[in-house]
A and B are shown apart, each in its own frame.
Chain A
Amino acid sequence: MRIFDPHIHMTSRTTDDYEAMYAGGVRAVVEPAFWLGQPRTSLGSFTDYFDAIIGWERFRAAQFGISHHCTIALNPKEANDPRCAEVLDVLPRYLAKDGVVAVGEVGFDSMTRAEEDAFVRQLELAVEFELPAMVHTPHRDKEQGTRRTLELVEASGLAPGMVVVDHLNEVTVDQVDAAGCWMGFSIYPDTKMDEHRMVAILQRRGLDRVLVNSAADWGRSDPMKTVRTGEAMLAAGFSDDDVDRVLWRNPVEFFGQSGRLLLDQDEAVDTTATFEGNSVLRGSRD
């Protein structure tokens, strides 16, 4: 099983996680810029965070044989703090970088006016930078948030195929499907969405435009949930090729639209960085 986790916050995870993910077949990830649990109050803490996910985290992942990409945005929760508004001004600098494969996470948290303004502005940036958009749907009042999300996406002029609407469930999947957007499912260790319900959704509507992720972060979450979903698919009678399509080819197709994927040509990722073609360099623990 080769796995591309299209939504995981590795800055919050340990090297044990990287090792377990690699052993489970994970060879590529996308780390969306999001909230860190503790609200930020200044531009500088955002730029340091963005620098980390285009720099150090990419290097750290490479030490474990995993290609790391990211998405960049002002997330909806912090879009509500006027002190963070200037983050929007520095986004173009980051959206120009290699390995930045989408604008995200954008979308709604509490459905405020400030969230909508930031969301609309960032959909415009996605159009301008010819990047896909990764849209977070709220955990509270998900159905209404998803509906408004789809209206704004349609108004933005961004092609629906360039948009993934994430954290979907049985209630919200059909409207996103009908809109032609990609459907993201975050598999959690609690009741929000699990691998068996995921399999049931795949059995019902098929595999196209589906992205499955662990959304693992600093909260209760499990970076192995993509692997568990692959196993659940096989147990339910899906083929190896079906699993490869959902867990590898679909995310490659979606994020490949950015032209910024950093996958090795043969997709066989080396477990060691090489320096001047011969020497092994490992990340220091000192």
Chain B
Amino acid sequence: MTEISPLAEPDTIRAALDDAGRERWTRMTTEVGEDPTRLGRVFPAAARQTGRGPLPGTDGVLIEDAVRVDLVRSAASTLDAAALLDELREVYRYGDSDEKRAVLHALNGAPADVDGSDVLLDALRTNDTRLVAAAMGPHSDRLDDDAWRQGVLKCLFTEVPVSAVTGLAARADRELAEMVTRYQREREAAGRVVPPDVQVVLDACAPTDPTPRDS
């Protein structure tokens, strides 16, 4: 009932797997399609049952992430938004970092009525850069402004490329610019290099309106 966007096209995934991997992928997909509560049982083994590493034909997507998001898609097809969120929270809570990251990728492909911002906030409290990056994807539009700005700042701190932040230009505001400027000043005062992404964020914060504003 809930439609999740794929992380990679099924044909692309299929092409990356060997026969045994394809067969296991199909079996797991069928299993969670019939009983979505099996998601937490098939999730941990999904990578070793199928494949791992960069998925050819994509821009840096990992095979294990694409397969796990596909399993979420299959489970979601029989769940409403609330029930899907319950499952995803459970899988995230008990997942290792790879499983957690896949849940974040699945949320990034979720429709408007799914709000997993609590899961994102958990990911943003970690210092695992892969989780932080995934948490600042499309689903981060559910975060309130304070949490979102802190998320962007965390990317700068942890050297997650801000290209991972979805909708940066649209949402960056003066308050973010002030936070980032203070961060920049602190780095300069300490004689430390200011990461180039600082300027990227400041540019995104700059008003696009060419007419000067009141000061």
Contact = CB atoms under 8 A, between A and B. Distances in A.
A96 B99 CA distance: 12
Interface stretch (B9-17, B27-35, B79-87, B126-134): B126-134
A259 B44 CA distance: 13
Nearest to A276: B60
B126 A54 contact: no
B44 A280 contact: no
Contacts of A59: 97, 128-130
A94 to B, nearest CB: 9
Contact of A286 (B44, B130, B158, B161): B158
Contacts of A273: 129-130
B45 A96 contact: yes
Contacts, number: 70
Interface string A104-143: 0000000000000000000000000000000000000000
Contact of A275 (B60, B100, B126, B127): B60
Nearest to B43: A96
Contact of B129 (A54, A97, A283): A283
Contact of B157 (A56, A279, A286): A286
A260 B139 CA distance: 32
Given A275-B164, A284-B158, A98 B130 contact: no
B63 to A, nearest CB: 13
A276 B163 CA distance: 11
Interface residues of A, number: 25
B47 interface: yes
Q: Which of B48, B160, B164 has the most CB of A within 10 A?
A: B48
A54 B96 contact: yes
B130 to A, nearest CB: 7
Contacts of B127: 56, 283-284, 286
A11 B48 CA distance: 25
Contacts of B44: 96-98
Given A275-B160, A275-B164, A284 B97 contact: no
B60 A278 contact: yes
Q: Which of B41, B157, B159 has the most CB of A within 10 A?
A: B159
A260 B59 contact: no
B54 interface: yes
Nearest to A93: B94
Contact of B133 (A54, A97, A275, A286): A275
Contact of B59 (A56, A99, A277): A277
A58 B97 CA distance: 9
A276 B59 contact: yes
A259 B60 contact: no
A281 B129 contact: yes
B98 interface: yes
B77 to A, nearest CB: 24
Contacts of B94: 93
A97 to B, nearest CB: 5
Contacts of A58: 96-97
B180 to A, nearest CB: 15
A282 interface: yes
A260 B49 CA distance: 11
A96 B42 CA distance: 9
B159 A282 contact: yes
Contacts of A281: 129-130, 133, 158-160
A259 B47 CA distance: 12
Q: Which of A55, A56, A273, A277 has the most CB of B within 10 A?
A: A55
Contacts of B48: 98, 259-260
Given A55-B97, A55-B128, A277 B159 contact: no
Contacts of A96: 41, 44-45
Contacts of A260: 48
Nearest to A264: B53
Given A54-B97, A98-B98, A279-B161, 12 more contacts: A51-B96, A55-B128, A56-B97, A97-B44, A98-B45, A259-B48, A275-B160, A275-B161, A280-B159, A281-B129, A281-B158, A286-B158
Interface of A: 51, 54-56, 58-59, 93, 96-99, 259-260, 273, 275-284, 286
Interface of B: 41, 44-45, 47-48, 54, 59-60, 94, 96-98, 100, 126-130, 133, 157-161, 164
18 contacts: A55-B100, A58-B97, A96-B44, A98-B48, A98-B96, A275-B129, A275-B133, A275-B160, A275-B164, A276-B59, A277-B54, A279-B161, A280-B159, A281-B130, A281-B158, A281-B159, A284-B127, A286-B157
